[in-house]
Structures are given as structure tokens and as C-alpha cells.
């Protein structure tokens, strides 16, 4: 039994027009499933008692939703029938219940709040959220009396020529008195063009018995955009992305080219950070202040400190501390932790490794499963050989070590503090503190060799 208000989210439809193997409401939109946007809006309006009507791929939908009650509609008999499935939970509740759709993700929490408070202030049986649109095709039309009162909703397929000209549409979101809703749902039938139980047929029945119906017209009709096919999906995505970018710009983030900047929900960006074109900031990413991110950067679930520069790079499940410089063409893989003031340069891949403060990996290196201390310099072309075909092993490089170019560090191995590894070495044994390790063939110069080759005497040393 709900305390103050409840919500029913309809999501039993398959979304045939998406032409997808995955049910429509689980398609990811700005980092989270389509239906999660609806849930968040409803919750942000302080409605916590939520029922989701599921049908197609219901196990998948149920698995991906938390803190809601899923109710199954096995046969898709219409929106009225879908709501009917929640009867046992809500029919005795004498308070407001929101009904909305799982595929209409732009509805704002304020809208839900407003229709609930309207309901609580006045004695209203149903408040319908409506919108004025230029192209009402496909939507139910709001038929009003000459005095402007809502009289009924006519579906596209049932509408007369005159009714089709109406620009005010039913968005599919309502606030009902739950008790009245379930009382009147019993009375609707499916004698209409689609042979479905229309939820909207409750409205004229309530009116006939003298109850009040309100229309709540949206200021921004885009809030009512629903997703039926992938074209509409892209439209909705544009609106959401635009809202997210504007939010960050209004919070002190510069976005040089909003059109080519993609920011998911659940990200944070600090003040005076500049985002250059072609940047993807994906779910779970946190960026500090005064950073320069981009061009062409993809950050997935990455934590970035203040004053960090990243260009032409990809990072996933990684962390970068203040003042570090990453890129161009760097790849930070899961578990990469980059210390303060580090420099990770071109064609460097770092995986499951800690790089201590002020260390440098400037070019062409693979550092995997390593613990690198502070102030370490890793020369161009260094590789940690972390995998022997069976197991992964760690490489430890202590503070102030210097790894010469083109070295192979065969793990498990430890390079002691302040030691040097000569360029071109293949290190297979630990290197003690303050030492120089050379692990390569000595060079031999065969003087006069060219001339001797001409006479066929290339074997002799002298
Ligand atoms: C409905 C409204 C229409 C409104 C439009 C807004 C009715 C009769 N019509 O029409 O006035 O303009 O939404 O988008 O309500 N669903 C179920 N089970 C069902 C049928 C539908 O769960 O048996 C769910 C769908 O998954 C969807 C929502 O209800 O999320 C709306 O259903 P849909 O078939 O899209 O209704 P419309 O015909 O668009
Ligand atoms: Mg629809």
C-alpha cells in the first residue's frame, strides 16, 4: 500500500518498430536503459511506490530494474488492460497514482510533481498531461468542450476528419485517483478500431458521473516525445544529450563543439574544464576542474583529477591524478591508475598498473600488471612481458628507476630503487637498488668486413 502516491509504468509492448532483438525499453540512452530515465524522473518527483507492467522479455526487464514491483501482462490487450494488472496493489488506495509509459523518457520530475500537487489541492479524478504539437499524427487527440473542458480522448484510428485536425494530444501520462481509476476500469470495453482496452476510455465515464478531469499542457512539447522506432530514438537522444550539455555549460564547463560532444548521465565535470570536439564522456566518468579533454577522447567510467590534459585517447575503468598529461594516442585500460603530474605519451597502453607520481611513459610502451614508483622514466618501446601463456605476473619498478629504451621486463621481476636498465635489455632477474642492469649481447665491430666480403673472406675476424 503506497504512502502518499504511486506510479504505474507501462512497458509490456515489444516495440516491433524498433526491429530489434532487444526489447525497446532496455535500449541504452545516454548511458542507461530507456526505461531507467522514466524511473529516475518518477523517483525525483518523490514517488517511490512504483509498478512496472512488463510483458515481452519480462525476465530481462525485471533483472535490470531495482526497487520496483514488476507486474506481468501476458497478452497485450491495450493500455487499459495493462493498468488493470495492477489492481490488486492499488484498487483501495484513495490517493494519486501516476500512469506513464516506459518509452517516453523526457518527461520531467517537475511535471509529475505538478500533476500530483494539482490532484492533492483540488478534487480531481484525473489530470492528463497534454501537449500542443504541429504533427499530431498517431497520437490520441484531446477533445474539449466549447468552454475548454476535456471531454474525451480519441485515438488516431477512431478519429473523425475534424478530430484529426486537433493539435492537442494525449501524452500518455496521467495522474488518477487510484480508487476511481480501478472502479471505472471495470467498465471499459474493447469496441474500437484496434479491439483494445483503452485506458483513455475511463475519462468520459468519469465525466459522465460528474468527476473533474484536468488537462495539464506541457510548456515544452518535446517532453512528450516517445520512442517507437530508431528515428524517434535518435531524436530523443538528441534532446537528452542537449539537456546534459547545457546543464554542464551552465555549471562552468566549456564545450567547444556541443554537436560532437557526448556526455552520459551519471558523469561529473568540474569548473573551467574545456571539452574539445569529438569527445565521449561515458557513464561513471568524473572529471575535475581546469582539465583539457579532447579532441577525440573516449572516457568510460574514468576518474580524472584537476588540471589534467587528455587528447586523442581512450580510457576505460581507469583513474588519472591531477596535472597528468595523457596522449596523443594513449590507451588506458581497466585498473590503470596514473599518478600526479605523470606523462603518458603516444602509443602507450597501460593496463591494471599503478604509475607513481611524476613518472613518465612518453612513447610506444606496453605496461601491464605493473607497480611503477615515483619519478620513474620508462624509455621508448619498453614492454612488461606479463603473460607467459598461462598466468599473468607483476612487474615492480621502484622509485627513481630509469628503464632504457626498448627493454623487455619479463615478469615476475623487480627493478630496485634508483637503478638503471640499459637500453635493449631483456630483464629476467630482479635488479638490486642503485645498480645498472645490462642484459644484451655485447656489440662486436668487424672492421674491414665490407672489403673482405668482396673477396669472399667474411669468416675471418681481422
Ligand atoms: C497511447 C494513448 C494515446 C496517446 C499515446 C501517447 C491509449 C488508448 N492511447 O496510444 O492516447 O496519445 O499513448 O504515446 O492509451 N502497453 C502495454 N500493454 C498494452 C498496450 C500498451 O504495456 O497492452 C504500453 C506500451 O508498451 C507503451 C504504452 O503502453 O509503453 C503505450 O502503448 P501504445 O501502444 O504505444 O499506445 P498508443 O497507441 O501509442
Ligand atoms: Mg505509442
- What are 170-197's pLDDT values in tens digits? 999 999 999 999 999 999 999 999 999 9
Is cis: bond before 55, omega within 30 of 0?
no
pLDDT at residue 460 tops 70: no
Q: Coil, helix or strand for 120?
A: helix
- Pair 144, 150: CB distance under 8 Å: yes
Which atom of ligand 1 is nearest to 201's Cα? 8
pLDDT at residue 339 tops 90: yes
pLDDT at residue 461 tops 60: no
Q: How many CB atoms lie within 10 A of CB 152?
A: 18
- Pair 294, 277: CB distance under 8 Å: yes
* 141-175 pLDDT, tens digit each: 999 999 999 989 999 999 999 999 999 999 999 99
- Pair 193, 144: CB distance under 8 Å: no
Inter-axis angle of helices 109-121 and 34-44, nearest 10: 40
147 Cα to the center of ligand 1, angstroms: 28
Q: What is the pLDDT of residue 13?
A: 85
pTM: 0.93
pLDDT at residue 290 tops 80: yes
Q: What is the pLDDT of residue 2?
A: 44
Which atom of ligand 1 is nearest to 55's Cα? 22
Q: Which mutation among 15, 27, 53, 79 tests ligand 1's pocket best, with the greatest number of atoms within 8 A of CB? A: 79
User: Taking the CA of residue 168 as centre, how many other CA atoms within 13 Å lie in the half-sphere pointing to its CB?
Assistant: 17
Alpha-carbon distances, residue 149 vs 127, 134, 146, 187, 215 (angstroms): 12, 21, 8, 22, 8
pLDDT at residue 289 tops 50: yes
Distance in angstroms (rounded) separating the CA atoms of residues 405 and 441? 15
Q: Which residues does ligand 1 sit against, CB inside 6 Å? A: 10-13, 53, 73, 76-79, 81-82, 101-103, 139-140, 153, 155, 169-172, 198-200, 226
pLDDT at residue 3 tops 70: no
Q: How many CB atoms lie within 10 A of CB 142?
A: 26
Name the average pLDDT for the chain: 96
Which atom of ligand 1 is nearest to 140's Cα? 11
* 399-438 pLDDT, tens digit each: 999 999 999 999 999 999 999 999 999 999 999 999 999 9
Cell numbers given for 20? 530489434
Which residues on adjacent β-strands are paired with residue 383? 366, 408
Domains and CATH numbers, the chain: 6-224 (3.90.550.10), 245-437 (2.160.10.10)
Question: How confident is the model over 119-138, as a mean pLDDT?
Answer: 93
Distance in angstroms (rounded) separating the CA atoms of residues 363 and 405? 10
Cβ neighbourhood burial of 264 (10 Å; 0-12, 13-18, 19+): buried
403 Cα to the center of ligand 2, angstroms: 63
CA angle at 296 for the pair 295 and 297, rounded to the nearest 5°: 105
Q: What is the pLDDT of residue 456?
A: 85
* 65-89 pLDDT, tens digit each: 999 999 999 999 999 999 999 999 9
**363 annotated active-site:** yes
pLDDT at residue 306 tops 90: yes
Which atom of ligand 1 is nearest to 54's Cα? 22
Q: What is the pLDDT of residue 122?
A: 85
Distance in angstroms (rounded) separating the CA atoms of residues 414 and 395? 6
- Pair 224, 171: CB distance under 8 Å: yes
Cell numbers given for 161? 476528419
Q: What is the pLDDT of residue 14?
A: 79
Q: What is the pLDDT of residue 1?
A: 41
Cell numbers given for 438? 645490462
Q: Coil, helix or strand for 342?
A: coil
- Pair 107, 90: CB distance under 8 Å: no
- Pair 367, 384: CB distance under 8 Å: yes
* 380-389 pLDDT, tens digit each: 999 999 999 9
- Pair 304, 282: CB distance under 8 Å: no
* 246-271 pLDDT, tens digit each: 999 999 999 999 999 999 999 999 99
Distance in angstroms (rounded) separating the CA atoms of residues 324 and 275? 16
pLDDT at residue 90 tops 50: yes
Q: How many CB atoms lie within 10 A of CB 364?
A: 18
Alpha-carbon distances, residue 331 vs 90, 141, 297, 365, 392 (angstroms): 52, 53, 10, 10, 19
| Nearest alpha carbon to residue 62 among 75, 74, 50, 71 | 71
- Say what percent of the chain tops pLDDT 90: 94
- Pair 12, 55: CB distance under 8 Å: yes
Proximal ligand: closest to the CA of 84? 1
Q: What is the pLDDT of residue 374?
A: 98
Question: How confident is the model over 33-55, as a mean pLDDT?
Answer: 97
Nearest CA to ligand 1 atom 26: 13
Nearest CA to ligand 1 atom 32: 79
Proximal ligand: closest to the CA of 11? 1
Distance in angstroms (rounded) separating the CA atoms of residues 60 and 132? 35
Q: What is the pLDDT of residue 400?
A: 98
Proximal ligand: closest to the CA of 57? 1
Amino acid at each position: 500500500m503506497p504512502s502518499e502516491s504511486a506510479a504505474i509504468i507501462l512497458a509490456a509492448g515489444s516495440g516491433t518498430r524498433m526491429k530489434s532483438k532487444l526489447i525497446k525499453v532496455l535500449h541504452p540512452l545516454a548511458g542507461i536503459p530507456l526505461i531507467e530515465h522514466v524511473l529516475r524522473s518518477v523517483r525525483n518527483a518523490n514517488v517511490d511506490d512504483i509498478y512496472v507492467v512488463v510483458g515481452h522479455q519480462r525476465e530481462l526487464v525485471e533483472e535490470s530494474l531495482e526497487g520496483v514491483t514488476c507486474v506481468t501482462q501476458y497478452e497485450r490487450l491495450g493500455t487499459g488492460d495493462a493498468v488493470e494488472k495492477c489492481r490488486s496493489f492499488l484498487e483501495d488506495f484513495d490517493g494519486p497514482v501516476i500512469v506513464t509509459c516506459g518509452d517516453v523518457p523526457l518527461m520531467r520530475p517537475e511535471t509529475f510533481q505538478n500533476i500530483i500537487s494539482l490532484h492533492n489541492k483540488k478534487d480531481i479524478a484525473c489530470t492528463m498531461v497534454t501537449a500542443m504539437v504541429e504533427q499530431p499524427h498517431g497520437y490520441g487527440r484531446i477533445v474539449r468542450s466549447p468552454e475548454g473542458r476535456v471531454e474525451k480522448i480519441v485515438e488516431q484510428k477512431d478519429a473523425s476528419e475534424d478530430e484529426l485536425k486537433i493539435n492537442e494530444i494525449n501524452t500518455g501520462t496521467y495522474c488518477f485517483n487510484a480508487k476511481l481509476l480501478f472502479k471505472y476500469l471495470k467498465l471499459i470495453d474493447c469496441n474500437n478500431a484496434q479491439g483494445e482496452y483503452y485506458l483513455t476510455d475511463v475519462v468520459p465515464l468519469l465525466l459522465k458521473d460528474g468527476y473533474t478531469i484536468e488537462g495539464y499542457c506541457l510548456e515544452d512539447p518535446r517532453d512528450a516525445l516517445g520512442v517507437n522506432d530508431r528515428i524517434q530514438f535518435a531524436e530523443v537522444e538528441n534532446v537528452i544529450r542537449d539537456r546534459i550539455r547545457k546543464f554542464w555549460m551552465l555549471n562552468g564547463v566549456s564545450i567547444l563543439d556541443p554537436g560532437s560532444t557526448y556526455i552520459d548521465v551519471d558523469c561529473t565535470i568540474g569548473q573551467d574544464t574545456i571539452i574539445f570536439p569529438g569527445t565521449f564522456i561515458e557513464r561513471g566518468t568524473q572529471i575535475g576542474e581546469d582539465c583539457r579533454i579532447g579532441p577525440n577522447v573516449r572516457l568510460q567510467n574514468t576518474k580524472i583529477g584537476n588540471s589534467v590534459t587528455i587528447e586523442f585517447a581512450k580510457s576505460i575503468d581507469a583513474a588519472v591524478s591531477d596535472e597528468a598529461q595523457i596522449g596523443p594516442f594513449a590507451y588506458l585500460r581497466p585498473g590503470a591508475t596514473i599518478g600526479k603530474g605523470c606523462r603518458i605519451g603516444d602509443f602507450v597502453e597501460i593496463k591494471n598498473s599503478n604509475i607513481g607520481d611524476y613518472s613518465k611513459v612518453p612513447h610506444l610502451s606496453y605496461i601491464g600488471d605493473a607497480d611503477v614508483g615515483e619519478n620513474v622514466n620508462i624509455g621508448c618501446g619498453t614492454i612488461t612481458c606479463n603473460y607467459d601463456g598461462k598466468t599473468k605476473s607483476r612487474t615492480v619498478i621502484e622509485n627513481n628507476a630509469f628503464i632504457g629504451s626498448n627493454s623487455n621486463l619479463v615478469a615476475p621481476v623487480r627493478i630496485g630503487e634508483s637503478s638503471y636498465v640499459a637500453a635493449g635489455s631483456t630483464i629476467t632477474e630482479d635488479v638490486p637498488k642503485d645498480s645498472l642492469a645490462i642484459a644484451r649481447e655485447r656489440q662486436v665491430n668487424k672492421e674491414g668486413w665490407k672489403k673482405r666480403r668482396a673477396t669472399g673472406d667474411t669468416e675471418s675476424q681481422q
